[in-house]
Amino acid sequence: MIRFLATLALLLAALAVSGCTSPPNPSSPFVGKTAPEVSVVDVQGNALRLSELRGRVVVLDLMGVNCPPCREQMPYFVRFADRHGGGNAQSGEGVVMMSVDLAATFPGLGARNDDEVRAFAQEYRAGWHFAQDLDSAVGTAYRPVGLPTVVIVDANGVIQFRKDGGVVSDETLERELQRIGGQTA
């Protein structure tokens, strides 16, 4: 009986760490719901508000520069951005991409400052928007269970795709973009 209880305790602890036992949170974004507002200043000094990007598809990458799966995902995102206008909000073309470092929400996985975020983007030759969530506002609004968390918001501001933890490939991004009727290559 003690062995059974110990095994059960370990199983429940593992599930809690993975987020499987988290209680439902009605304020968290879900697919089909309006995306919570994101307001950040990227490492280049550009102010970005999700609500101002209505009319365009937005790929929101909640990540950390020291997160191994986030690093693994970057080449896929670079390929996707290359096919879709580079992901620049100011260009008015293509899909807008934003990678937001969640160091305040996931200590140890994120950057200490903008220079580390900038170096991370340069390492991968990533030409889209990178920012830090310094006050945990993005982390609080989106409540990611793990990193990276990828959210695709359609042109109407509605979440059409969300994946918490694990790598999202450029093929998955393409498939989801086609499914929601966004711009395709």
pLDDT reading at 83 higher than 70: yes
pLDDT at position 2, please? Answer: 63
Is the residue at 131 inside a domain?
yes
pLDDT at position 118, please? Answer: 97
Angstrom distances, CA of residue 55 to CA of 2, 159, 182, 183: 58, 13, 10, 11
Is the residue at 21 inside a domain?
no
Q: Which residue has the higher pLDDT, 10 or 64?
A: 64
Lowest mean pLDDT among 7-11, 37-41, 44-48, 179-183: 7-11
Is the residue at 23 inside a domain?
no
Mean pLDDT of the chain: 84
Q: Read off the tokens for 19.
A: 């987020």
Is the residue at 3 inside a domain?
no
pLDDT (average), residues 46-54? 94
Is the residue at 42 inside a domain?
yes
Is the residue at 86 inside a domain?
yes
Q: What tens digit of pLDDT does each residue of 106-160 get?
A: 999 999 999 999 999 999 999 999 999 999 999 999 999 999 999 999 999 999 9
Q: For residues 42, 44, 108 and 20, what is the CA-based torsion angle, rounded to 10 degrees?
A: 30
Question: Which uninterrupted H or E stretch holds 108?
Answer: none
Alpha helices, H only, 84-181: 114-123, 137-142, 170-179
CB 96 within 8 A of CB 88: yes
Q: What tens digit of pLDDT does each residue of 17-36 get?
A: 333 223 333 334 579 999 99
For residue 169, which amino acid is it? S
Angstrom distances, CA of residue 91 to CA of 79, 86, 96: 18, 9, 9
Is the residue at 9 inside a domain?
no
**Domains in the chain: how many in total?**
1
Residue-range definition of the domain harbouring residue 129:
29-179
- How many other C-beta atoms lie within 10 A of the C-beta of residue 170? 18
- How many other C-beta atoms lie within 10 A of the C-beta of residue 55? 9
pLDDT at position 30, please? Answer: 77
pLDDT (average), residues 32-56? 94
CATH number reported for the structural domain that contains residue 117 in this entry: 3.40.30.10
Is the residue at 20 inside a domain?
no
Angstrom distances, CA of residue 143 to CA of 16, 77, 91, 146, 149: 15, 22, 29, 9, 9
Q: What tens digit of pLDDT does each residue of 85-112 get?
A: 766 777 767 799 999 999 999 999 999 9
